[in-house]
Amino acid sequence: MCRRLALVLFAISLGFVPARAQDKPTIVVHVFTIASGVKCPYDMTQLQAEAIAELKTQDAAQFNVVSDAVPNQTQVYTLDGEILEWHKGNVVERMTIAMGSVAGRENAKIHYWLTDKDGKKVFESTDIIRQIWMDNAKEQSTGTLGRPFGDKIADRLKEAKLVPAASAPAQ
């Protein structure tokens, strides 16, 4: 009898595990805009995809990351942003003056924020993202800033503390 009761309680407790996983906050990543007067040659939907991919890679244990709102979610945050500046960079300068350091690298200044489901800003940041060190390869739609774009946002969202420290995975 006692074993049966323990087995039933164990089975019931397992039923709560998937529900706990669905209780993760959801981040809806919108396409960033480009500030008036700024020339940025990249496809913003591709940068959105890079941000989603990096957030999923780095923070999948903490967040559900999607491009469209999901119905019936209790904790939903929306990530919006704007490209404030974009600078092409210069390969010669990068290789001769700085040997691949900050000088001469393609970069952009981005401003982004998270809002909760009521539209209240819960996190905001402005950062400069730079081409990966010594990376000369260019993708047609995101240039050399695609991965750094998503990576920077993923790093900063950890500062937003959307997940209580006790439930955040140890790093």
User: Cα(6)–Cα(144) distance, rounded to whole angstroms?
Assistant: 56
Q: Which domains does the chain have, with CATH numbers?
A: 25-160 (3.40.50)
* The predicted structure's pLDDT at residue 170: 52
Please report which confidence band the pLDDT of residue 138 belongs to, taking 50, 70 and 90 as the band edges.
very low
pTM: 0.72
The span from the CA of 143 to the CA of 145, in Å, is 6
**Alpha-carbon distances of 57 from 5, 63, 154, rounded to whole Å:** 40, 10, 9
Q: How far apart are CA 35 and CA 33, in angstroms?
A: 7
- 22-74 pLDDT, tens per residue? 578 899 999 999 999 999 888 899 889 888 988 898 888 888 999 998 777 78
CB crowding 103-132: b at 16 or more within 10 Å, else e: ebbbbbbbbbbbbeeeeeeebebebebbbb
pLDDT reported for residue 21? 45
**CA gap 118, 103 in Å, rounded:** 42
